[in-house]
A = this chain, B = another copy of it.
Amino acid sequence: MMQFTPALADAAGITERALDVLLPKPRNGETRLFEAMRYAVMGGGKRLRPFLVLNSARLFGVSENCAARVAAAVECVHCYSLAHDDLPCMDDDDLRRGKPSTHRQFDEATAVLAGDALLSLAFEILSNHGTHEDPNIRCELVRCLAVASGPLGMAGGQMLDLESENQTLTVGAITRLQQLKTGALIAFSCEAGAILGKASPQQRQALHGYAHDLGLAFQITDDLLDIEGNPEILGKSAGKDLTAGKSTLVALLGLDRARVQAKFLSDQAVKHLDLFDEKADLLRAAARFAIDRRA
């Protein structure tokens, strides 16, 4: 745990420097969309997904420059989804990371377009020669990110989430919803390092398993923080899921069993990394951070 927080900040710094170069610069006469894109992306956040990209890539000795571009692309996709999810017609959130959400800072149309533009930009980054010299690797990155963000990934999960309001879901249905909504992009973040590093199928599978359990542990902890968390530390309103009538594993299992389940998943995530040496220690620390954090 000791080394994790600075490592997370380090990954955030690397990613934000890459994003600053890759995001279009506001310029004479055409500034609004570019400003909104930067606002949606540069507003902080843990940068967990970039951390996972950078540290899965390190397992295979991938150049940091390549990994940083992929980390930036993943963060563009994550932040586009936040800008769209916050819209009044979706989750209707005024606050994100303690600041006005993108549509509150600009307007709804600009938030929709900034999200759209960030999604396109992510694929432009991945397909560009600068991300990797091997076009097979670039194509595989594009394909996997497209699947993770599309109808059978993040967008599909958000649809299920909206449809599940005021419904009681089973544990299985909630797990599937969360695997799509947040799990798919987290899994891509870990697999991206394996793709960049031409890992063996066994290594890639291990990272997939790690990401799967990490993602669910992270989500249960999010739900616990939504009930028990301090809004000032969270940077968003607490109790939001309950008010929205959303089914969560915490609501279904109760606080205690949910905590046990998160701990179980975190331990299992670490176990998936057994085939890696100490180079995977930061990923192991991330699995513990997923359940021990306060925001």
Interface residues of A (CB under 8 A from B): 24, 30, 32-34, 37, 80-81, 84, 87, 89-90, 107-110, 112-113, 115-117, 119-121, 123-124, 126-128, 135-136, 138-140, 142-143, 145-147, 149-153, 155-156, 158-160, 162-163
Contact = CB atoms under 8 A, between A and B. Distances in A.
Copies in the assembly, this chain: 2
A239 to B, nearest CB: 22
A159 B112 contact: no
A112 B112 contact: yes
Contacts of A163: 32
Contact of A113 (B116, B138, B147, B155): B155
A34 to B, nearest CB: 6
A22 to B, nearest CB: 11
Contacts of A126: 142
Contacts of A33: 151, 155-156, 159
Given A121-B151, A124-B146, A150-B117, A159 B110 contact: yes
A120 B139 contact: no
